[in-house]
Amino acid sequence: MERFIDVPGGRLCVVDEGDGPPVVLLHAGIVDLRAWDALVPHLVAAGHRAVRYDARGWGRSATDDVDYSNRADVVAVLDGLGIGRAVLVGNSRGGQIAFDTAIEFPDRVAAVVGVGAGLGGFEGDLTPDELAALEEMDRLEEAESKNADAIAEINVRIWVEGLGQPAGRTPPWIAAQVREATRLLSEPGHVFGRPIRLDPPAATRLADLRCPVLAIAGALDISDVAETARHLQEHAPDARAMILPEAAHMIGMEQPAELADLITGFLEPLRPWA
């Protein structure tokens, strides 16, 4: 169920559950693989093999201070588990990695589900309040002496509750898990390595994104996330967008059963893949 896969300059912690067509889950930048814990049982019950792993420098995965490719790490996980083709489900940063991987390694990706996903090279419009909040987040994260508690709280306010939403809108365990993960990421000397960006970026190569895409965004999220989903629907060859009215950024934690239904319904016509 749990194992470690060696990659050049690092080691990835992987959890593998269930049987059936494989789905690989890529977490957001403010959490680790535990963010998918509530979703996985639904995918397994629907007859899928659910694989999740900590990205380099997150959770129990480790990296040296080296250049590396997140796309190659996805393929290393597939190879390490004997998976030929998989569906990639990525939240936020993990969504950007999923789209990049589908472009660079199209034979290994059967479909992509973006969940509040980013898209390399695409920048949407932000409201003044959103811009101010993100600038404050950047200032805290780039400070020479980091205030881990302040970083944790602004991440909860933006990505868990949603800007302008009441505190406590989501179950307390979600905020607690995000606070814990972001504090660990803010520790002095934490090593992330140096990710190699896809070049040219995905936004300029959407014609190469040939697999089916479902781009899901929450209406309570930062506004450019829904804009990204709609951009994919308009410009990728086989993509559709879905906006959930009562969700923010961490949809897999907020609404795991609903997200599982969307994923499994989208994937049913594609079965089987391997």
Model confidence pLDDT, tens digit, residues 149-188: 999 999 999 999 999 999 899 999 999 999 999 999 998 8
How far CA 31 is from CA of 28, 93, 182, 206, 262, in Å, comes to 6, 10, 7, 27, 22
- Distance, in Å, from the CA atom of 63 to the CA atom of 8, rounded to the nearest integer, reads 9
CATH classification code of 2-123+191-270: 3.40.50.1820
pTM for the full predicted model: 0.97
**127 Cβ contact list (under 8 Å, min separation 6):** 223
Q: Is the predicted pLDDT of residue 233 greater than 80, yes or no?
A: yes
**260 Cβ contact list (under 8 Å, min separation 6):** 39, 42, 43, 46
Residue type, 217: A
Model confidence pLDDT, tens digit, residues 20-39: 999 999 999 999 999 999 99
- With H, G, I as helix, E, B as strand and everything else as coil, classify residue 43: helix
Structural domain boundaries of the chain?
A: 2-123+191-270, 128-185
